Amino acid sequence: MSNYQPVKKIAIFASGRGSNASKILDHLGNISGIEVVLVLSNKLDAYVLNIAKENNIQTHVVNRDSFYKSDYTVKLLKNLEIDLIVLAGFLWLIPKDLIKAFPDRILNIHPALLPKYGGKGMYGQHIHKAVFEAKEKESGITIHLVNEKYDEGKIIFQAHCDLSQIKSPEEIGKKVLELEHKYYPLVVEKYLDRV
Ligand code: GAR
């Protein structure tokens, strides 16, 4: 009997600096049977593209028309035999055809405790400012499946942090990002068992 197990292939979508993408690459790089084969961005100058190139990973930059009005992305992902799409700071809404082509195969991380502080326009420092102004006692991260609405897919993981000593939105951002870096790579690895 053969012990052959197919490699599980991941595409990371990111719009910005790519610190989560970098942590995921570091973690998964040490695990056999898992490979990140594509980093896709909607921004030509996103730093995450440099990280991908340093790791010899194929990159692709989408524009609005190709992303929303053509089947280019679905075809690209299917041709690469992608098993899981990991959003790591990707700020565009995922089109319906992509969700349909990858059912329960798209994960997102959100830097707050959903269902609070989610939805269009709620990203990065906007979230931490809102959390700070509301004098929340805690914040955290949410990792969830992606559906056709911003931040409303099934939650699969949350981690909390205490805000009692916090003096600024920036401090919240730092604490939350630490949680993202600690848990997102682990949750992605674990979720791959299900795909
Ligand atoms: C992360 O904090 C992620 O949770 C957030 O963008 C940041 C990307 O940072 N995503 C959202 O706000 C999605 N609504 P990174 O580029 O350093 O990984």
Cβ of 124 less than 6 Å from ligand 1: yes
Mean per-residue pLDDT for 76-104? 97
> Which ligand 1 atom minimizes the distance to the CA of 141?
4
Tens-digit pLDDT profile for residues 40-89: 999 999 999 999 999 999 999 999 999 999 999 999 999 999 999 999 99
What is the set of domains in the chain, with CATH numbers? 8-194 (3.40.50.170)
Residue nearest to atom 10 of ligand 1 (CA): 89
Asked if the bond preceding 111 is cis, omega within 30° of 0, the reply is no
Structural tokens at position 142 = 């949410």
**Contact indicator for 45, 39 with CB cutoff of 8 Å:** no
Band the pLDDT of 3: cuts 50, 70, 90. low
pTM: 0.96
- Does the annotation count 181 as an active-site position? no
Q: What is the pLDDT of residue 30?
A: 84
Ligand 1 centroid vs 5 CA: distance in angstroms?
32
CA distances from 17 to 3, 87, 129, 131 (A): 39, 13, 20, 23
Ligand 1 centroid vs 79 CA: distance in angstroms?
27
Tens-digit pLDDT profile for residues 108-135: 999 999 999 999 889 989 999 999 999 9
CB under 8 Å to 133, separation ≥6 — which residues? none
